[in-house]
């Protein structure tokens, strides 16, 4: 059995008995979740009796399946960490950042294997039909057309289904004044 990924460990109720996530759309996966939980939480033999002076062990809370918003939040936070570690202004060069980036990249690859697609739209031409919310339009001298110049939050897709709309800042070319034609 290959070593468990970070997401497997995060979503497993008990890390010793990892849950294998099906490669299906989220609605079908969430529909199967109660059956998986029932099978995983089959009654165990009662523990041996202990003296009455010891407190009973706390019961574990029932595990709930990850929701679309939780998956989108996890993907967004990993994306933000990656962007910060790749930014030379926020991260000084060094070995610690490189090691952290390796783990973040591995987690992002695991999300991609699960069918999660993270799209930041950076430097893409702006189209009103894109699944993004524009925070502001910012005049920028270097641009010839409307272009996404900064991503606040990426768009997150699960098997081509939109889980989270992106939030961006769009750069616009400076307004050019057209001279009035004289007859």
Is residue 77, in this structure, part of any structural domain at all? Answer: yes
Residue 14 is given by DSSP the state B
pLDDT confidence bin for 68, thresholds 50/70/90: confident
Is residue 52, in this structure, part of any structural domain at all? Answer: no
Is residue 42, in this structure, part of any structural domain at all? Answer: no
- 132-172 pLDDT, tens digit per residue, is 999 999 998 888 899 999 999 999 998 889 999 999 999 99
In this prediction, what percent of the chain has a pLDDT beyond 70?
Answer: 58
Q: Which residue has the higher pLDDT, 27 or 96?
A: 96
Q: What is the pLDDT of residue 22?
A: 46
CATH code of 130's domain:
2.30.22.10
pLDDT at 35 over 60: yes
* Number of domains composing the chain: 1
Is residue 1, in this structure, part of any structural domain at all? Answer: no
Give the residue from 6, 134, 131, 12 showing the smallest Cα distance to 77.
Answer: 6
Mean pLDDT of 21-28: 54
Is residue 59, in this structure, part of any structural domain at all? Answer: no
Is residue 45, in this structure, part of any structural domain at all? Answer: no
Spatial neighbors of 117 by CB under 8 A, at least 6 apart, are 156, 157, 158, 160
Spatial neighbors of 84 by CB under 8 A, at least 6 apart, are 90, 91
Mean pLDDT of 92-113: 81
Q: Which residues pair with 125 in a beta bridge?
A: 147
Mean pLDDT of 113-120: 91
Is residue 26, in this structure, part of any structural domain at all? Answer: yes
Residue 120 is given by DSSP the state -
Give me the domain span that covers residue 163. Answer: 6-36+65-172
Q: Which residue has the higher pLDDT, 111 or 46?
A: 111
Is residue 145, in this structure, part of any structural domain at all? Answer: yes
């Amino acid at each position: 059995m290959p070593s468990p990924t970070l997401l497997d460990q995060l979503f497993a109720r008990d890390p010793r008995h990892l849950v294998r996530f099906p490669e299906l759309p989220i609605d079908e996966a969430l529909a199967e979740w109660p059956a998986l939980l029932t099978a995983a939480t089959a009654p165990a033999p009662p523990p041996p009796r202990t003296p009455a002076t010891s407190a009973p062990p706390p019961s574990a809370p029932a595990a709930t399946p990850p929701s679309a918003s939780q998956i989108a939040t996890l993907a967004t936070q990993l994306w933000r960490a990656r962007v910060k570690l790749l930014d030379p202004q926020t991260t000084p060069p060094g070995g610690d950042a490189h090691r952290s980036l390796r783990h973040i990249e591995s987690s992002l690859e695991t999300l991609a294997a699960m069918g999660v697609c993270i799209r930041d739209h950076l430097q893409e031409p702006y189209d009103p039909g894109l699944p993004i919310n524009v925070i502001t339009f910012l005049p920028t001298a270097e641009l010839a057309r409307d272009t996404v110049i900064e991503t606040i939050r990426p768009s997150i897709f699960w098997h081509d289904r939109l889980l989270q709309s992106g939030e961006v800042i769009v750069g616009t070319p400076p307004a050019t004044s057209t001279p009035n034609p004289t007859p």
